Structure 1
């Protein structure tokens, strides 16, 4: 599959508007398994030629597919397509390179956003853009733009580290909100509050260690593996999310306090 992916990347970079193609996800990190998807980031400037992308997708995929243009999948995950090539899942994900660069500039100043995005139940955290670049493997980049940006993102910005570590206060706030609902058996609200709390803690712990966190998937286990994370962090968070009762909320409050102590934010 690897030669096919590299050939595909070369052809994609020839589509008008596409400036670079990168391999992301577990495959780029060397953590993939035989059934893992091949995630390709298609970095564009201006307006990519979606008709040309669709034509190429239909040529290489096992079945016809249409490429969603910018905005077709929501405000943060611009668009793309899910392909099956030779029985293997290959995802094309559009990324506006101008926007990625703007977000990177904001991150260097300690500014970030969390936006609503389908497929990201805890919201899309804007530092994921430079994080994806830092963790990717560049496949095709004729002008060297993505490689230059990747070199910059390998150094985690100290202002962003401070901002995201400081965001752990929201986890405390969310647990307080869950406490009010747990006694009434409002499991939807409790589950949302605790999920948000643990998601924020995962972001804060990653930032504390200057490690990019680009997705909710696997974030709990990854945070648990970081140095100084509370003992049995993932196991305790998972237990609270299963129970969703007053005792679970109090257990979550203890866990939040432990993380905030690690972060130096107080208990």
Structure 2
């Protein structure tokens, strides 16, 4: 649990009560608090992210009624799939002046992705609001790092307990991906240098840093669930080279607009890739 919920100092906008009531809705198996609130890394204005783990199809009419009761107004509560394949629906609420997000998660799909993680399989899907794409293992990371608030059948807690140990096969797969994809992507980026194609180069730089971030987290047995704060978090892990976060942000912050500037930036990116891969080779794996 987060310190706030343990001590009762700040139970938030009726979060625990809301979780219990959500879990009573037909189709909802359990509710998990995620994001910075669950990790204890939140700011006072941070959102409350509630994962609604469902099976089949949740009773969205009942969810809308509950949302209206909590907010005092009609609020859009989507059907599953309305927001895309990965963040597949939910609602954005304001309760007692705080932002509360309901995010659907198909429990059977989460369990299937967890099986893939243990076998070293993952995929990356396109999703609005996720410029790097959603890595499938983020589903496991959300539950592994989350705080189960309502779990009438015990199913969420049992699945979360399985995730206590980071899968070695997934660690190997993500580090191996970085070994070939990061240098390859930078080589592709150089094709845009002569045309001063800053857009193309910047995209390649972002992708390269993202792949390195995934590898550093995997090496440390940690779960990044999205891009926000992921570079800084990776820089604090033992598998990152000195100055990783500062160097990565510098690459993405100002790649340049001339062939000379872009070349210098890609040279620096090559060095960061080489240093990161060397650090991963030298340091012991965590988890």
**Is TM > 0.5 for Structure 1 vs Structure 2?**
yes
> Could you say which residue in structure 2 is the equivalent of 1:123?
133
User: Which deviations, in whole Å up to 9, do the C-alpha atoms of 1:48-84 show, x marking residues without a partner?
Assistant: 1112111111110154211112111100111001100
1:84 pairs with 2:94:
yes
User: Which deviations, in whole Å up to 9, do the C-alpha atoms of 1:9-33 show, x marking residues without a partner?
Assistant: 0100011100000100010011111
Unaligned runs of 5+ in 2: 1-9, 256-261, 283-287
> Could you say which residue in structure 2 is the equivalent of 1:35?
45
Instruction: Map 1:1-267 to 2 at 5 A.
Output: 2=11, 4-168=14-178, 169-244=180-255, 245-264=262-281
* Superposed displacement of residue 262, structure 1: 2.0
Unaligned runs of 5+ in 1: none
* Superposed displacement of residue 113, structure 1: 0.6
Matched residues in 1 for 2:86 and 2:231: separation?
Answer: 22
* Superposed displacement of residue 115, structure 1: 0.6
Q: Which moved more, 1:169-178 or 1:18-27?
A: 169-178
Matched residues in 2 for 1:33 and 1:63: separation?
Answer: 27
Matched residues in 2 for 1:63 and 1:35: separation?
Answer: 22
Q: Which moved more, 1:169-178 or 1:11-20?
A: 169-178
TM-score by structure 2 length? 0.90
* Superposed displacement of residue 221, structure 1: 0.3
Give aligned pairs, total: 265
Matched residues in 2 for 1:64 and 1:31: separation?
Answer: 31
Q: Secondary structure at the match of 1:2?
A: coil
Q: Secondary structure at the match of 1:264?
A: helix
CA contact (8 A) 2:117 2:169 kept: yes
